[in-house]
Amino acid sequence: MTAQLILVPQISSLPGHEQKAQAILRWLAKREIVEALPTTCGQGGNGMAYAIGPGARRIAQHPELLPYGQPHNGLEVITSRCIYLPTRGFLEEAGCAECRREVGVPLFDSLEVWWPGETDSFTCPECGHEDDINGFLFLQPCGFSNLGFIFNNWADAGFKQSFLDEFAARLGYAVSLVRVDLD
């Protein structure tokens, strides 16, 4: 099975997102989690990504499941506004952080204005609470941002919590960890 682990900052418009992406890439390459230069080990777009490095073993929950030797094992960095959702069994359920009512249908309908950048926020139709779309409660991890880090075929290996915490600290925002199964 081909599966991706995607780290997404929990903010729609991360300030200085392209510079932050470069800083995260330098940090990952310095720790040898990924290689410093892109190669053809990606899945999307032009197929370019940053190949898995030997340091990935230190940050994986199950290092024996890392995709060494697989053709698609690299990190792709997305610096445009994107929606990251699980592809299997996604329920499209969300709740308001204020009133705790179900708002999934109107929230997901609002993505038509979120995606082109007309807004970063959503207003709860039940109580009027307004927040960045990432501030609402989702039953399944998903992300909405102008920055995303796609680790191709790393899903079964997972990440250690210490790595996720450090990654979030370096970004300056909490991150969502989204699993996407492609096969």
Structural contact between residues 10 and 173, judged by C-beta atoms closer than 8 angstroms:
yes
Structural contact between residues 150 and 44, judged by C-beta atoms closer than 8 angstroms:
yes
Task: For residue 147, give both structure tokens.
Answer: 């920055």
Q: Does domain 3-83+145-181 have CATH number 3.30.70?
A: yes
Structural contact between residues 6 and 149, judged by C-beta atoms closer than 8 angstroms:
yes
pTM: 0.95
148-152 and 75-78 as β-strands: parallel, antiparallel, unpaired? Answer: antiparallel
Q: What is the pLDDT of residue 1?
A: 62
Ranges of the chain with pLDDT below 50: none
Q: What residue segments make up the domains of the chain, in order of their start?
A: 3-83+145-181, 91-138
Which residues, in sequence order, are bridge partners of residue 123?
Answer: 130
Spatial separation of the C-alpha atoms in residues 145 and 175, rounded to whole Å: 10
Q: Determine the 3-state secondary structure of 131 from DSSP.
A: strand
